[in-house]
Structure 1
Amino acid sequence: MILSYLFYIALGFLPSLIWLLFYLKKDPHPEPQHRIVKIFLWGMLIAPLAAVAELFLLWLTKPMGPQSMLSALTNGSPFLNQYTDGWRALIGLVFFAPLVEEYLKYRIVKEEVSKDPDFDEPPDAMIYLITGGLGFAAAENLLVVLQFPLLPLGAAINTISLRFVGATFLHALASGIVGYFWAKSLLETQKRTRLIAKGLVLAIVFHGSYNYIVNLKDSFPFTTLLIIPLLVAMALFVSFGFRYLKNKLSVCKTE
């Protein structure tokens, strides 16, 4: 059983590591490995914080006092049932989750690298944010794979494969988009706030659209036809961002 869990945990890390290796090759001057590992781990660590923040925002849509919450739990009525159906669930998926996750990924990476002497070129902003985003995705994947020892190997591999081309790729791309605008804000300091806000809004819109489309899978069998163009558009944007920033290898003006 222990070996099974270790295998599935390794399987959970695999999608993030593959995408990480792919995007690290985009860096004309590779970052220190210890810094990449640290940012990846920070991305993982903020995943539980994001979950708590998302639950709190959902709770605000229908606040419950301690007694009501205790009553709901003791009467066999799970607390979260009130927030996982209907319009509250939709708001959580399409707005709260993207808002919290994209902001926290940006914030933790910014705090960790903005004063680092190795953070000296515009593409670094995209590399570090993609790394943090993939760490976040790895934590999500680990939550999924904890169920896998109870599932056939084929089902586990199928789930991870879908997350590789879906949720994990989404986190990398959304973070890359924010990273692009962050890099531009370091080059165009007079527009700093506006550019960062633009990047976050764009990432939140893409992320929310992805979540909404995935949520349609039970009522609309062709969700893949909508997800593929969305991810392709994001991937093209990130690819353009790297090409654009490589031509601007001046030292970033950090805050």
Structure 2
Amino acid sequence: MGLLPSIIWLIYFYRRDCHPEPKSLIGRVFLMGIIISPIAVFLQLAFNNISSLYFFQANTAGFFLWAALVEEIVKFVAVWSVAIKHPSFDEPVDAMIYMITAGLGFAAIENILVLFKTIPDGINVTLGVLALRFTGATLLHALSSAVTGYFLALAWFSVRHRRKFIFGGIVFATFFHFVFNIFLATTENQTAGLAMATGLLVGLSLLVSILFQRSRDRSQNISEEIRLA
């Protein structure tokens, strides 16, 4: 059940690819997103334990910033280690698809752990949490990863500024991830916090839709150039 939100979003984004990627590679990237997630947890907890600064203690802005940064880097590493050198990685939109896939894999393990804790509270609570995770954290992971993916596409097809693009992508993804967590975790009025987080997701969805279309257009242009060559 914990996999369901990620699978649904994965199917949605996968079908938006004009030249769908090999399902076997998509599966490997998704699995790597799951496998690599404990590294993020370890780094988050380790940093929290060794930091003596209040700014970086649990449930503070500093901790949420660090947590978001670690998760975005880990998802990027998942794609870099599995897909980046694969022959199928040959179009700009591929970077977004693979990053989204890794993000959804990462979200899947989070969902499983969260839902496991709700089992004693009954099926209604579990289903309610599942619905919130589907429209909230799971979508957030997909969208923030998509932002990194767009910049990864720019980096991969513009070698001169590769590192700058990758760095910029992770920074922007971390920012959106951080703000989302802040809205939900530190806003005194939970309803207001949820409303602001929802607004952020709507805005980020529109941004990713634009970036996705740009990447698809560039991919189609590349395909046309290859066909005419």
Tell me which residue corresponds to 1:158: 128
State how far apart, in whole Å, the 2-side matches of 1:184 and 1:209 are: 24
SS in 1 for 2:86: coil
Tell me which residue corresponds to 2:227: none
Q: Give 1:219 deviation, angstroms.
A: 4.0
Matched, 1:186 2:176: no
Shift in alpha-carbon separation, 1:32–1:162, aligned structure 2, 3 A: same
Q: Give 1:216 deviation, angstroms.
A: 2.8
SS in 2 for 1:125: helix
Please, which runs of 5 or more residues in structure 2 have no aligned partner?
A: 224-229
Q: Give 1:62 deviation, angstroms.
A: 2.9
Measured against aligned partners, the alpha-carbon deviations of 1:20-61 in whole angstroms (never above 9, x if no partner) come to 011001111111111111111100111111100111111221
State how far apart, in whole Å, the 2-side matches of 1:87 and 1:60 are: 10
Tell me which residue corresponds to 2:170: 200
Percent of aligned pairs with the same residue? 38
Tell me which residue corresponds to 1:88: 57
Q: Give 1:212 deviation, angstroms.
A: 0.5
Match runs of 1:17-166 below 5 Å: 17-62=7-52, 88-89=57-58, 90-91=60-61, 93-166=63-136
- Alignment-mate amino acid for residue 183 of structure 2: I
Please, which runs of 5 or more residues in structure 1 have no aligned partner?
A: 1-10, 64-82
- Alignment-mate amino acid for residue 22 of structure 2: P
Q: TM-score, normalised by structure 1?
A: 0.82
Report the number of matched residues.
Answer: 220
Which residue of 7, 14, 32 corresponds with 2:4?
14
- Whether the 8 Å contact between 1:93 and 1:211 is mirrored in structure 2 is no
- Whether the 8 Å contact between 1:93 and 1:208 is mirrored in structure 2 is no
Match runs of 1:168-183 below 5 Å: 168-183=138-153
Higher relative contact order (CA 8 A, sep 6+): 1
Measured against aligned partners, the alpha-carbon deviations of 1:154-204 in whole angstroms (never above 9, x if no partner) come to 111000100101000000000000000000112222121111111111110
SS in 2 for 1:159: helix
Structure 1 segments (4+ residues) deviating >2 Å: 91-94, 216-221
Shift in alpha-carbon separation, 1:49–1:176, aligned structure 2, 3 A: same
State how far apart, in whole Å, the 1-side matches of 2:24 and 2:147 are: 24
- Alignment-mate amino acid for residue 244 of structure 1: R
Aligned alpha-carbon RMSD (Å)? 1.8
Q: TM-score, normalised by structure 2?
A: 0.90
Measured against aligned partners, the alpha-carbon deviations of 1:55-97 in whole angstroms (never above 9, x if no partner) come to 111122139xxxxxxxxxxxxxxxxxxx9xx861214542111
Q: Considering only CA atoms, is the larger Rg found in Structure 1 or Structure 2?
A: 1
- Whether the 8 Å contact between 1:58 and 1:92 is mirrored in structure 2 is no
